[in-house]
Structure formats: C-alpha cells, structure tokens
A = this chain, B = another copy of it.
Amino acid sequence: MPDIITLQHVAEAAGVSAKTVSRVVNGDRHVSATTRNTVERAVARLGYRPNLAARSLVTARSYMVAIISPHLRGYYYSELHAAALTACKAQGYHLLIEEFTRSGKDDLMRLEESLRQMRLEGVVLTPPLSDDTALLDLIDRLGLRCVRIAPATALGRTDAVSANQEQGMIELAEHFVSEGHATFGIIASPSAVPSEYRHQFLTAALVQRGVDPDRIFIEQLDWDGPITRAARAAAARFLCAAPRPTAIFAASDMVAVPIIQFALEQGLRVPRDLSVAGCDDIDIAEAVWPPLTTLHQPIREIAHEAISLLLAPASAAKRHLTLTMPLVVRASTSAPSPDNVNSK
C-alpha cells in the first residue's frame, strides 16, 4: 500500500475512473447508487483522504478564512478566536488567526503577503481594526469578503456584527438609578475593546433618567502603563471628587477588579460604600470578591454570527446584526448606604 493514497488508487481499486471517485467524494448526485457504493467502500478500505492542496490549486478555493485581531492574548480575543474556530470547523472551513498591530509602515504589506499566500476566502475584523480604513482598503483591493465586529464607522461598507452597547448602558443606568445612586464615576477608555462610546451612552442614559450631569465624573484611563495601575489611579481620582461617586462604571472587568481592590484597601465597603460595575463578564467576574456586576458580552454568539455571515452567500445590501448585552447583577453593586447618599 503506497504511503499516500490518491484518487487514482481508489479509482483502480474500485474499477472506475478518477473522475467518478471525485464525484462521489464531493457528493455529486450524478452517480448511480451501486457505483457510489463501490467507490465508498474503496475509499474506506484504502483510507483515502483528499489532498487539499491539489483541490485548492484547481478550484482556486482554499476553504480558509482569517480573523484579524490586534492581539492574540486576553480574554476578549481568545474567546472570539475560539468561538470563530468552532464555527468554522462546523462549516468545513479552516480558520487562520492573524495578529495585526499597526507599528511600522510595512505591517500592512506583511499582512497582505500573508493573506494572499493563503488565498483566503474572507476575513473577519475585530475592533478596533474594524475601523482601520487602510486595512479595509487592502481587503477591498484583494477582493476579499469581510465581516466586521463592532465597527464604529462606515457602517454600510461591509457586513457587521455588534453587541448593543447602547441598550447595555441603558440597562446599567436603570439599575444604578433604581438602586438610588445619584453620583457617578465613569471610566472612559478610548482605545478599549470594543467601544469607545460606552461612556457616552451611559452618561446620556443617566441624564435622561434625571441624574444631574454635574454629578457624573468621567475619568480617562491612562494606557501607557499596566492596566492595573491605570485603573487604580483613576479610582483614586474618583474618591477625591466632591461629592464622591457612590457608583462607578469601569469600562471593562479587567479595570473593575483593581478598582474594587483599591477601594477595599482604602477601607471602603463594596458595594455599600461604593458600587462598581464592569463590562464583558469575563470568566473571573464571578470568582472575585465581591462577584462583579457586569454587562455580558455575547462573544461566542458574535463570533458565530460573524462566521455565518462570512460564509453565507453575499447579499447586495450589507447586513448588520446587533446582539443584546444582558446585565448580570452580582454583588459588586447595591443601593448606596444612607451615610454616603447624604454625604456632602
């Protein structure tokens, strides 16, 4: 038995032509049941597997798509990649995971090289790459299909999938206001995944529910150092504000956790003296103390829908799918204690 079994071998074993074997293997219906049976048995007996390279060469199809992200690590991206991988496999596709950081001029060229070599059939872009115009141009130039996750600009340019940040922020605002909070700290995280508009949505939702805009403090996260330190610094600034916020929205869980830590160190009780809500619902959110109230990102669903859109027949009209972000209330938020409400 030869080391590598080709269509030819199967054809000989089954006493038919190579093309017929090809038909059977590819599920072409124009084959008689008996022939199909013979061939299938030969395939099974010989352990034949089609050579993807050969098939790809002649069909000019690769059965590969890529997902391009600025990072490979971190909860958000690794969940996204894992889910995309699963979705691709289910459809018989392979997924290439590409890292793309905009540091030098030739990054784009290297990416182009990689994309063209693989003869990809489509790409998924993750935020904030979804809004990288040069990248979108490249993809257009290569004639690649594209689905963007959480794009903020040029919404009609490609198919897209987003979580509904605005709805999430409204839910959170309702939660805070109904608990009786009146003074807020919001961390705005410009380059955060996946949206820079969260704090605007939240502010708007809060004001719309009667919160005094002067009692909403916004702090920018300093991305130049470790995120833990940046979060603590922002928390420190909130705690100096007058009146002091009784509720903080932290832009992400990775920011919420060190904020809570900092508050606890300062002798504050969480949530009694300070409620803190995060965003993402990462795996650790329910393991920390107190468990985090947070907005759940439907990451797996997002990835799944993105791949479905990518592999489904294109439609002339661009599709944009929006998924809700459920609020998961745990123990890091509650009504403020009376002393705080009255304070100052």
Contacts and interface: CB of A to CB of B under 8 A. Distances in A.
Contacts of A242: none
Given A53-B119, A289-B289, 20 more contacts: A3-B143, A52-B119, A53-B53, A53-B54, A53-B56, A53-B57, A72-B82, A73-B79, A78-B82, A94-B96, A95-B97, A227-B287, A254-B283, A254-B287, A257-B284, A257-B288, A261-B288, A261-B291, A284-B284, A288-B288
A213 interface: no
* A interface, over-half SS: helix
A99 interface: yes
Interface of A: 3-4, 49-54, 56-57, 60, 62, 72-74, 78-79, 81-82, 85-86, 89, 94-97, 99, 113, 116-119, 143, 227-228, 231, 254, 257-258, 260-261, 264-265, 283-284, 286-291
Nearest to A270: B289
How many copies of this chain sit in the oligomeric assembly?
Answer: 2
A50 B119 CA distance: 10
Contacts of A254: 283-284, 287
A118 B93 CA distance: 12
B57 A85 contact: no
28 contacts: A49-B113, A49-B116, A50-B117, A52-B53, A53-B53, A53-B56, A54-B57, A57-B57, A72-B82, A72-B86, A73-B78, A73-B79, A78-B81, A78-B82, A81-B81, A85-B97, A89-B99, A97-B97, A227-B287, A228-B286, A257-B287, A258-B287, A260-B289, A261-B290, A261-B291, A264-B289, A288-B288, A288-B289
